[in-house]
Amino acid sequence: MFEGSLPALVTPFKDGAVDLDTLKRLVEWHLEEGTNGFVPVGTTGESPTLTHAEHEMVIAEVVRAVDGRAPVIAGAGSNNTQEAIRLTQYAETVGADAALIVTPYYNKPTQAGMIAHFTALHDCCNLPIIIYNIPSRSVVDMMPDTMGALAQLPRIIGVKDATGDLSRVPKQRLTCGPDFLQLSGEDGTALGFNAHGGRGCISVTANVAPRLCAQFQKATLAGDYATALDIQDRLMPLHIALFLEPGVAGAKYAMSRLGKCSDEVRLPLVGLTDGTKAKIDAALHHAGLLA
């Protein structure tokens, strides 16, 4: 159910407010382009600067717009266990198909603390839970043995792995089992990730190039790595350029160049420098997305 190209969906803004009309149009565009599922209100959805009411609204609106045509994995993580429980339970009530829960950032819990945190979330609802392991942002790293212990719980079904360490995939196959769902959280290494046993990517670049990302994932999952490599060669400059400056500003700028949404972001994020914009434009041309 959860595999292939799964964009970490941006949250479009208009004059400082969430732009729900554009959000709905983005959902339709993604479905037309072959996107396999949606991950609203993750980091790329600017969850750190959404109010709780906005966070919940975006989940509900995406579920409503998708209307069962693809799975929705709701971002519901927090470094506050009780807050994460509330967001996860809300996602369940509005019909999300799973919850993406980040390892608790800033608090720096131990491995035992992470087990306790995710066990509480598992026990609070009936939603499948996907762990989001991103040490570069959360400062803590869930070890494969810890993940293996959590994988024993029936609703802890997988991981979004943004460690950038391809050896994690086979290590986690050993501790979690071959049926544990492993999704890449890094576009640039998604080909190798799937070759090691991954089943897809929760992708930033898929916001900009959904058709190419869906074709790329379809090729890897079919074992057609020659086709996947050809697509990767087209997309790699974009994978790089979108992250020349932190946050989602790169993706939103690229989408604005394609006429899909405004490039507006919320502080403390700011718009891109002219040099980065030029590099993103060049990457869009390289991928064949701009004439």
For tokens 């212990």, the residue is 149
Q: Give the containing element (helix H, strand E) for 92.
A: helix 81-93
Length of the chain: 291
The type of residue at 132 is Y
**CA angle (121, 122, 125) in 5-degree steps:** 85
Of the candidates 90, 105, 132, 253, the residue annotated as catalytic is 132
The type of residue at 247 is G
Of the candidates 14, 24, 106, 160, the residue annotated as catalytic is 160
Distance from C-alpha of 103 to C-alpha of 57, rounded to nearest angstrom: 23
Please indicate whether residue 218 is annotated as part of the active site.
no
Distance from C-alpha of 265 to C-alpha of 288, rounded to nearest angstrom: 26
Per-residue H/E/C for 208-224: CCHHHHHHHHHHHHCCC
For tokens 């950032």, the residue is 105
Distance from C-alpha of 60 to C-alpha of 197, rounded to nearest angstrom: 32
For tokens 């718009």, the residue is 271
Please indicate whether residue 277 is annotated as part of the active site.
no
Q: What does the DSSP assignment read for 19-41? A: -HHHHHHHHHHHHHHT---BBTT
Distance from C-alpha of 91 to C-alpha of 259, rounded to nearest angstrom: 30
Contact, 262 vs 14, CB < 8 A? yes
Distance from C-alpha of 272 to C-alpha of 264, rounded to nearest angstrom: 10
Residues annotated as part of the active site: 132, 160
